Amino acid sequence: MRAVRLRQFGFDGLGVEELAEPAPRAGEVLLRVRAVALNYRDVLIVRGEYDPRLSLPLVPCSDAACEIVAVGDGVPQIAVGERVTPIFSRGWLEGPPTRETPRRALGGPIDGTLAELIVASASDVARLPAYLDDVQASTLYCAGLTAYRALFELARTSPATRVLVLGTGGVSTFAVSLACAAGADVTVVSRDAAKLERAVALGAARGFCSTDVPSWGVAVREATQGGVDQVIDVVGGSTLAESLHAVRPGGTIAMIGTSATRRGAPNEQPSLLPAVMREVRLQGVLVGPRSSFLAFVEALEHWNIEPVVDTTFPLADVRSSFERMASGSVFGKVVVTL
pLDDT tens column, 321-338 = 999 999 989 999 999 999
255 pLDDT higher than 80: yes
Q: 252 and 320: one domain?
A: no
Are 74 and 26 a contacting pair, CB within 8 Å?
A: yes
Q: Do 185 and 268 lie in a common domain?
A: yes
**Which residues span the domain enclosing 14?**
2-142+307-337
Give a yes or no: residue 300 inside a domain. Answer: no
| Domain total in the chain | 2
Average pLDDT, the chain: 94
pLDDT at 323: 97
On whether both 138 and 212 belong to a single domain, the answer is no
Q: Indicate the pLDDT class of residue 34, thresholds 50, 70 and 90.
A: very high
Same-domain pairing of 121 and 6: yes
Residues 30, 87, single domain; the answer is yes
Residues 245 and 274 occupy one common structural domain: yes
DSSP code of residue 55: -
CATH code, domain carrying 82: 3.90.180.10
pLDDT of residue 288: 97
Judged against a pLDDT cut of 90, whether residue 274 lies above it is answered with no
Report yes or no on 333 lying in a domain: yes
Within a domain: residue 318? yes
Same domain, yes or no: 161 and 85: no
Q: Is residue 28 part of a domain?
A: yes
Task: Say which residue, 57 or 262, is predicted with more confidence.
Answer: 57
pLDDT at 259 (0 to 100): 47
DSSP H or E segment with residue 202? helix 193-202
Within the chain, strands assigned E span: 2-6, 14-18, 28-38, 65-71, 83-86, 117-121, 125-127, 162-166, 185-190, 206-209, 228-233, 247-255, 281-284, 309-314, 333-337
What are the pLDDT digits (tens) for 60-103? Answer: 999 999 999 999 999 888 889 999 999 999 999 999 999 999 99
Q: Are residues 36 and 15 in the same domain?
A: yes
Spatial separation of the C-alpha atoms in residues 49 and 129, rounded to whole Å? 34
165 & 129 share domain: no
CATH no. for residue 249?
3.40.50.720
Does 130 lie in the same domain as 19?
yes
pLDDT above 90 covers a percentage of the chain that reads 90
8 Å CB contact between 281 and 252:
yes
What pLDDT is stored for residue 261 in this prediction?
47
Residues 11 and 138 in one domain: yes
pLDDT interval class at 260 (50, 70, 90): very low
Residue 26 has pLDDT above 90, yes or no: yes
Lowest mean pLDDT: which of 22-31, 121-130, 237-246?
237-246
Confidence class for position 53, pLDDT limits 50, 70, 90: very high
Whether the pLDDT of residue 31 is over 80: the answer is yes
- Is the same domain home to 160 and 203? yes
Q: Could you read off the pLDDT of 159-213 as tens digits, one per residue?
A: 999 999 999 999 999 999 999 999 999 999 999 999 999 999 999 999 999 999 9
Evaluate whether residue 291 is within a structural domain. no
Mean pLDDT of 16-32: 96
Q: How confident is the model at residue 42 (pLDDT cuts 50, 70, 90)?
A: very high
pLDDT value at residue 267: 54
Mean pLDDT on 147-158 = 97
Asked if residue 267 belongs to a domain, the reply is yes
Q: How far apart are CA 259 and CA 178, in angstroms?
A: 25
DSSP label at residue 140:
I
